[in-house]
Structure 1
Amino acid sequence: MKPEDRAVDGVYSDLSQLLALRRSVSAATSAARVKQGRTEGMRLSRQRGRGLSFEELRHYRPGDDCRLLDWKATRRTGQPLVRVFTEERERPVWLLVDQRSGMFFGSQRRMKSVFAAELAALIGWEAHQQGDRVGSVIITNDAIRPWRPQRTQAQLLDWLKQLVACNHRLRAGAAPAPQRLPDALAEAKALIAHDARIYLLSDLDGWSDDCLALVGALRRHNEVAVLAIADPLEQQLPPGCWHFADHRGELSVDLGRSGVAQRYRENAEQRRQSIRTGLRRRQVDYIELDCQSDPAIQWRQVRVRSGGGV
């Protein structure tokens, strides 16, 4: 049975649903164009290239156009410097999508893994309609699956099929993912050069100082947003007697008497605050998303709050 033929109820992503999200993106794009009073040029992309508006001087990097060298500044400083311009043009969008076993959890309407797939599809369709190339790194339990940036709708459809296939390999009761988040970020760093928009869609399971350093390194030459996906039950456990089980065994905890719930809530908030603070110090956008709410509505709200900059 093909993945798209399997019954879908929020446990697994549905290819037809990911394709249908294109319509919501088209409607939002059309509305934005009417509001802005124009039919093209949806945004001013801060793409480094030859344009009319000077932005800054920066050190020369291998691959830069030698015609952009500022010879006066180079002679004055003794180091090669290039002029950087702001230009309205396409640039690659990279989607780092977590589909490890830790994402296979949801307390109400959908799994975190399903939410991540739907949100990735939304951003992918949005980028495609703006004329940008879409690339991806899908992080699974046993592999890191790169997808080089491409532009055509057929190629985007192939990527969505691969994303759905990875999503449908998740199983309840599976062992913890051997694939570490730092390894996936290191792979992304090796693939992505500069001047891209990068979105990490993950519950940040396995986040560490190495992850922070790698995201900071990506941010030096790109725009980076961390979209932290969480389930409400992960943030605060309700009181009562709870029974937990995984591949290692079972555990029962009375949260009403032991004060475990409060300590759990405090630890969860401390972890979130630590990640948020570290990323913002490195000028990385950090956005928390609830996997039980509609991804399209949340993404529109994020875009409105950021002025379309995320």
Structure 2
Amino acid sequence: MQSSKTAADGFVYASLPQLMAFEYRARGLSFMARQSLSSVLSGNHASRLRGRGLSFDELRHYMPGDNLRHLDWRASMRYGKPFVRSYTEERDRPTLVIVDQRMSMFFGSQRNFKSVTAAELGALCAWIALQAGDRVGGLVFGDDRIEHIRPLRSRSRVEALCTSIVRQNHSLSATQPDSEYADQLDQALRNCLSLAGHDHLICIISDFAATSERTLQLLRELKTHNDVIAMQVYDPIALNLPSTGRLMVTQGELQVELEVNHRRVNKPLGEFLTGRLRQVAEMLRLSQVPLMMFSTGEDSLEQLRQELGRLAQVPR
């Protein structure tokens, strides 16, 4: 565990007060648009949220104006009169927030570490869901463990999720070696698949390092009966590698300092970093899971607000 001073800086390590403060800052944000769009996933994201599910209410006589798609043909034929099935909208639905706190997230060249940006986005998603009246839970995973928070509609449950995020975030350290469990992202998705039945909203917040064909398959399975949003956290250096200076590359206890002004270093490293972003974007395109991208160099809340606001301008 890091010192309280280091842990509370909000840039290298997240703090619980920092995440809880988003309760008020997230007000007015919604994954469901109020007017022209049906959801944050419309338009450019080429997908739509299902919204809350419908639950069967009663079987009753047909009345003029009823939706003919709700005709119950079996009952109508049995009684010789048209019957319709009426439905009511469910008051809430479960939201699962999956937050990546692996060692691959313990990096940042500007403003935040990726792990802190992911922590902030996890808290924002939780508060937005709770303020919409939905149940909130999630999974927080590091290199060696996964913590589960069962969805409930309560402020204390959001606090439990944020506490889990901070606990795993504070366990990260530059001296921590890489785990042997390279498939922790896939394992988290498998666990989510076993927890989520139908009509869940699932927010996956990660850098999507160490993906595989199995990752694609799991995303497709989750998408079949649920709404899934992928939030990829990246560092600006992946898009614009500096032309001069030195870059420290770490892999657990191994550290290598590279002179990025050397062409034989700069070109392949830049191609690798940008290629990783393209690879994830292509995987998510194939899975039909909408992708939202968040830079560690900018404010997390403002980026999310911009994503939601930009889509509100797209015509139906």
TM superposition score category, shorter chain reference: 0.7 to 0.9
Letter in 1 for 2:259: D
Distance 1:193 1:185 in 2: 13
Q: Give 3-state SS (helix, strand or coil) of 1:174's partner.
A: coil
Distance 2:291 2:228 in 1: 9
Q: Judge conservation of contact 2:101–2:168 (CA < 8 Å) in 1.
A: yes
Identity %: 32
Q: Give 3-state SS (helix, strand or coil) of 2:203's partner.
A: strand
Per-residue CA deviations over 1:138-169 (Å, capped at 9, x if unaligned) read 01121111111111112221222222111111
Distance 2:191 2:263 in 1: 43
TM-score, normalization by structure 2: 0.77
Q: Give 3-state SS (helix, strand or coil) of 2:175's partner.
A: coil
Q: Judge conservation of contact 1:3–1:164 (CA < 8 Å) in 2.
A: no
Displacement after TM superposition at 1:27 (Å): 5.1
Match of 2:199 among 195, 202, 208: 195
Q: Judge conservation of contact 1:48–1:195 (CA < 8 Å) in 2.
A: no
Distance 2:98 2:68 in 1: 29
Displacement after TM superposition at 1:283 (Å): 2.0
Match of 1:215 among 210, 213, 219: 219
Letter in 2 for 1:255: V
Per-residue CA deviations over 1:260-293 (Å, capped at 9, x if unaligned) read 3222223333332232223223321011110221
Distance 1:265 1:3 in 2: 35
Q: Judge conservation of contact 1:56–1:84 (CA < 8 Å) in 2.
A: no
Q: Judge conservation of contact 1:56–1:85 (CA < 8 Å) in 2.
A: no
Displacement after TM superposition at 1:84 (Å): 11
Give matches, 1:148-227, under 5 Å. 148-179=150-181, 180=183, 181-227=185-231
Q: Give 3-state SS (helix, strand or coil) of 2:231's partner.
A: strand
Q: Give 3-state SS (helix, strand or coil) of 1:300's partner.
A: helix
Q: Judge conservation of contact 2:110–2:296 (CA < 8 Å) in 1.
A: no
Letter in 1 for 2:262: R
Letter in 2 for 1:45: G
Higher RCO (CA-CA < 8 Å; seq separation 6+): 2
Q: Give 3-state SS (helix, strand or coil) of 1:45's partner.
A: coil
**2:289 maps to 1:289:** no
Give structure 1 stretches of 5+ with no counterpart. Answer: 37-42, 58-67, 73-82
Distance 2:9 2:165 in 1: 15
- Give the paired residue count: 280
Q: What RMSD over aligned residues (CA atoms) do the two structures have, in Å?
A: 3.4
Q: Give 3-state SS (helix, strand or coil) of 1:156's partner.
A: helix
Distance 1:91 1:55 in 2: 27
Gap change, CA 1:206 and 1:259, over 3 Å in 2 = same
Q: Judge conservation of contact 1:44–1:88 (CA < 8 Å) in 2.
A: no
**2:257 maps to 1:256:** no
Letter in 2 for 1:50: F
**2:47 maps to 1:47:** no
Gap change, CA 1:44 and 1:84, over 3 Å in 2 = farther
